[in-house]
Amino acid sequence: MKKFLDRLLELISEENGRLSHTKLWANLGNFVGTFVFVYHCIKTETLEPELFLMYMSVVVLQRSISKITSSKYKNNTNDSLNL
């Protein structure tokens, strides 16, 4: 059980153990979007291709942009952004 809670805490905390609001809200948004998507599919008993593509594009694009931004500015120790 402790291992499960530690893994769950990794979803919303940084490597140093501090709470990360960025991770919290991104994962919360993905959870709510997934819940609404699954609820709609169960309620209507259909999986429309347009809805599936919209859901996947939102989730995948959010993760991809987050990874790109993180890798670009991870080693930047200056206060200003170097574009």
Q: Tell which residue, 32, 40, 22, has the closest CA to residue 58.
A: 32
> How much is the average pLDDT of 42-61?
86
Share the mean pLDDT of the chain: 81
> How much is the average pLDDT of 65-72?
84
42 confidence band (pLDDT: 50, 70, 90): very high
pLDDT for the residue numbered 76: 52
Contacts for 29 with CB less than 8 Å, ≥ 6 apart = 62
pTM of the full structure: 0.65
Beta bridge partners of 13: 19
